[in-house]
Structure formats: structure tokens, C-alpha cells
Structure 1
Amino acid sequence: MSINSESGASLPIIDLSLLAGTDHQRQQLAQSLADACLHTGFFYVSHHGISETLIKRVFEESQALFSLPGADKEAINKSFSKANRGYEPLKGQTLEPGSPPDLKEGFYIGEELDNSDPRVEAGRFNMGANQWPRTLADFRGTMMEYFQGMNELSGRIMEALALSLGLDEDFFADFCRQPLSTLRLLHYPPQPPNPAPGEKGCGAHTDFGGITVLLLDDKPGLQVWDAKADEWINAEPISGTFVVNLGDMIARWTNDRYRSTLHRVVNTSGAERYSVPFFFTGNPDHEVSCLPTCLDEGDQPHYPPTTVEAHLMDMYRRTYA
């Protein structure tokens, strides 16, 4: 099953339960995933193991957060955090250069680390304590339960990616150890009737890191650029699935064989829209160098070796300089 545009371009649905299937089923999974990663780097995953009850709670708590009075949200503004955690106001980010600020507000959550953690003491990138809304009693517990579940799901997706690249299933095991992950809650108000030129919920961009696992509500808005079809694909919400896309680091790791693709959000639903991306970037110390199955005889790597942390810091410098 896939979602089609008018030209027939599509995003496939990958059944993660096939990871535990027969050799033939695992080969089917690997081939389907490879095709998606070579084409757009975007796909849906089904049979992911995250309960619908938890997903419902995440949306309820997210809506409650963004419904708080402005002063309550500003009290946990991410400008107060050395680890980029907390609230980001409406129009607080511009992802597409030359366009108006994005019509969204957000909230950033990471691994909960206090000041005694050696990684925090060493000043490691984006590591530290979260900020939490004081008036939402169930918010922290819900988000940390979901955060842990998404780390585990991301590890399974990395196993599937390893198979798709002709590698052992556990090839990325060290990459998945103590990962640098970010959970981001997003709220998009309706697109204004007369938007400024280029104004949209989220400007066209690629993601920096490893994989992004995106939870959508029932409102359309996500669009993915299909270079082959030369058009934007509408990634419609599909109940029981997540949308997954590859980040710039995976493109680098695969010598640009797998794609990190432009995507954007235009909330034309006429209603409030919520989404929850989970950015799985991996172990900050893990080396990222051209994978052995992505270098043909006589070819050279497009990029020198780096680490996850060095790659991220470089991408942040380019974006926020």
C-alpha cells in the first residue's frame, strides 16, 4: 500500500513486523525499504509497537501544553536552557531561507540528565535537564514514556535500514547506544486566508541527523519533494502508522546513495494541527564514515569521517550562523 500523488508518485508503507519474520519476509522488507530510501528517503511504518493509548495521551498533553496561557509557556522558553529544551514561540524559527517565519510553535524534550551526569559536566552538545510545565501533572510522565518507546522503535528501524544496505542486522547497535534524541511537540494554527508570499507552517528543509519518526494527527499538511516526479507529494495521515524520513547524516553515511529529502508543512485544513517528530541522532561519539556497501570499486567517499556530534554541531553552525 502507498499514498499517491496525481502523477502516481508514492510513499510506501513498510511493515516492521517482517523484521521478526522468515528470511524471505526479511528480504522483502529490506528491498522495499531500500527502494524507498533510494527514491525519496520517506516512508510509513506500520506494526510499530507503540500503543494507541499512549499516542492518544501524547496528543492530549500536547494540546494542553499549547493551550496554556502565554506567560506559562514563556516561563519555560528554551532560551533558558543550555540544552535547547523547552518552549519555542510561534514564528520562532525560519527553516526556509528567504521565507517568512514558520507558522508553528514547538516544545523540545530530550533525555533527562541532571548536572551531575558526566556528559552534562563535560558540556556535551544538547545534553542537560528538561523544562516542564508546572500545571500539567501528567505531562512529564507521558512524554518520557513516549520518549523511551520511540528510542526503542528507532533502534528497530535502524535494524531494518541495516538489512536494506546489505549489512548485518546489528550493524548500527553501537550507534543506537546512549543516543542523542529529541522529542518535539508542534502546533500549527490554520494557514491564514491571505498569507504573506511564501508563508507556511514549516518551510522546506531537510533534517540534520539520523532518522525522524513523525507522529501525525488526522489533519493533512506534510508535503515531501519528489525530485523524480518534480512535484510535492502530500503525505496524508494514515491511522496506525508513523512517517519516517532520513536525515542528512544518513545521506552522508551512505555516500549520498540514500536520500535526505526536502519537506514542508502547509496547514490548509482550516483547523488546529498537531504533530510530534522524534529525531533519533544516535551515539554522539559514533564514527560516521562511508559504509562498506555504499562504495563501488574505484569510487571515493564524498565526505571525510566524522562523528555524530561533530556532524550535528557543523549543521547547527551552518543553520544558525
Structure 2
Amino acid sequence: MKNEPTSSTLQLPLIDVAALRGSDPDARKAVAAQLRQACEQRGFFYITNHGVDEALIASVFAQSREFFSQKMEKKCAIDKRLSPCNRGYEPLRAQTLEAGAPPDLKESFYVGREVPVDDPRVIAGRFNTGPNQWPTALPAFRAVMQRYYEAAFELGETLVRGLALSLAMPESFFDDYLKDAAATLRLLHYPPQPGNPLPGEKGCGEHTDFGGITLLLQDAMGGLQVRDMQTQRWIDAPPVPSTYVVNIGDLFARWTNGRYVSTLHRVINVSGRERYSVPFFFTGNPLHRVECISTCLADGAAPLYPTVTVEEHQIECYRRTYG
């Protein structure tokens, strides 16, 4: 059996976040100090003792494999293009994350919070807000994904409060950002990298993530690579059992005036087998205004970025990758 990576062999930090759910403020601050170092130096890290049920995670992967193994006509019956809020199936090569490269060699399925069409947020046209599309042939799929969505959302909230502490702010600092927060669960399937790929073809081209933070589950196949900013080389982020890979997105990098880094990453599936991963993109309250945090701005310095709402930021990011 292949040896599993340990904390001494990993090139990204591994942080035990159990104390963030506890009552000891000093223990929470100690975790926050580790988060600060990871976010400033790498923008990527693993977390352990995250509190999400392992049986639920296994069910998510099982349902994802079942969904993607369906015939194409069943998947396309709930194509994302049929949804006004970007929910549903997205086929291979539908997205190009790396400018100038071939489209990404992956297919995916998007899930958000279930919001009915008569909700005031939908009527107002809030971006990426509305009802999901669900596969009718998989009776357990919807319940599993909705349970997982809520569990991942709760973990995202916990980490965001930890990030507030890491920035020398009160744990409640991001409460307005967390109110009515949006998030996207995405199921991803990568076929094996072809033996004769197009020049620059990858499972997922190099990119940074759009939103606040990303919580990533990956199967045992590997393939995720992160750009090391000091050496300008790609380093592997191999799968580690019972962990998430967490990374800072463009929104938090903007919010912290570049202090917390949104790092380039990509996926190249050279395992020779099917690869599955499950990112959860924690976006935040669409109407929340993002402006430079005071602890991230030196005296007399000007913010690097203008104030923007979460929704305005997301719309611009989608425009870049979907044209």
C-alpha cells in the first residue's frame, strides 16, 4: 500500500482546527496564529479535525461517481445552461480557467443553497441565487448533497471567524459578511489525462479561486498542484485522509490588501484513472461591501483595490472565465 503523506513530508501546512469549535479563547487564538502564517506565506493549507462526518463525505463521493457515470442525455437534461442561477451539469471543456490554454478537461455539477423562485432575492435578480436542478434517476443524491452543503457551510463559517482572529479583529468582525452568505458546492470529475494531450491541456488550468475561501475534498488519485511563490515552481498537494485542503480566494486577498495570498493552482490527472474532487466555494453575503481591513493597511498607505460588493466581484470573475 502506498505510504500516506505525513506532516513532515507535506509542502503545505497542516493545521488542527478543532479548537476553533471550542470554548477556550486562547486555544482559538493559537489556531488563528497558524492560519495567519499559512495565509500570508502560502494561501493554501490542510485542516484536520474539521468536524464533518466522514460517512457523509464518503456518501458525497459515492453519489458524485453515480451521477457522472450516467449517460450523457441524463446529465444534459439538467445542463447548467438551463438554469438562470448557474446550477446543474457542466460538460467537459465548458470552462477555460487558464487564459490561452485549451478548455479544462473536467465535467462538473453545481449546487447552491435551495432558494425558491418567489423568494425576494430571486425576484431581485441576485447573482447565482435560485433553485437547484436535481437528477431524477438518483433518489439519494439531493438529500446527501443538501446535508453536505450545510455541514461544509458550517465549517466555512467557523474558519471565517478564525480568519477574523488571525487578522487581529474580533471573531464577530465578519458577521455581516456571513449573514445570508452564498456558497457553491461543485462536484468535479476528471477523466485520465490523454496520452497525447493538446499543448497546455490540463484537467484544470492554472487559476486562483474567485471567492472568500475554498474547502476542497479530493479522492486518492492526486493531481492538485500549487504554485510556490518563492521558487516559482509547482508543488504537489497530495490527498491526505480525513483532511480538507483550504485556500484563500481572490475576495479575501483583496479584502486583506494582498496580505493573505490567493495562490495559483491547477490539476493534472496523471493517475491513469478517473479522479473526483469536491470543492466548496464560500462566497459570502452578495451585498456585503468589501474594503481594505484596517489591520492590513499601513499608516499613510492607500488600499490596493477599490471597494466592491461580493456580488460585483463574483460577476466580474465569472465573466472572465465564461466569456
TM-score scaled to structure 2, two decimals? 0.95
1:47: which partner in 2?
49
1:18: which partner in 2?
19
**How does 1:258-277 map onto structure 2 within 5 Å?**
258-277=260-279
1:209·1:248 contact (CA, 8 Å) conserved in 2?
yes
Distance in 1 of aligned mates of 2:169 and 2:199: 46
1:285: which partner in 2?
287
1:102·1:203 contact (CA, 8 Å) conserved in 2?
yes
Quote the offset at 1:22 in angstroms. 4.0
2:13·2:46 contact (CA, 8 Å) conserved in 1?
yes
State which of 303, 306, 312 in structure 1 corresponds to 2:305. 303
Q: Which amino acid aligns with 2:106?
A: K
**How does 1:110-129 map onto structure 2 within 5 Å?**
110-129=112-131
Worse-matched range after superposition: 80-89 or 299-308: 299-308
Quote the offset at 1:21 in angstroms. 6.1
**Please, which runs of 5 or more residues in structure 1 have no aligned partner?**
none
Quote the offset at 1:170 in angstroms. 1.6
1:235-267: CA deviation from partner (whole Å, max 9, x where unpaired): 010111000111101010000111001000000
Percent identity for Structure 1 against Structure 2: 56
Change (3 A) 1:14 1:261: same
Number of residue-to-residue matches in the alignment: 317
1:197-254: CA deviation from partner (whole Å, max 9, x where unpaired): 1111000000111111001111110000011122111001011100011110101000
State which of 108, 129, 135 in structure 1 corresponds to 2:110. 108
1:59: which partner in 2?
61
Q: Which amino acid aligns with 1:82?
A: P
Change (3 A) 1:188 1:319: closer
- Give the secondary structure class of the aligned counterpart of 2:62: helix
Distance in 2 of aligned mates of 1:200 and 1:280: 25
Distance in 2 of aligned mates of 1:269 and 1:21: 43
TM-score scaled to structure 1, two decimals? 0.96
Distance in 2 of aligned mates of 1:282 and 1:194: 41
Quote the offset at 1:154 in angstroms. 0.1
Distance in 2 of aligned mates of 1:121 and 1:310: 18
1:224: which partner in 2?
226
1:3·1:235 contact (CA, 8 Å) conserved in 2?
no
Distance in 1 of aligned mates of 2:7 and 2:180: 33
Distance in 2 of aligned mates of 1:109 and 1:27: 33
**How does 1:306-317 map onto structure 2 within 5 Å?**
306-317=308-319
2:206·2:264 contact (CA, 8 Å) conserved in 1?
yes
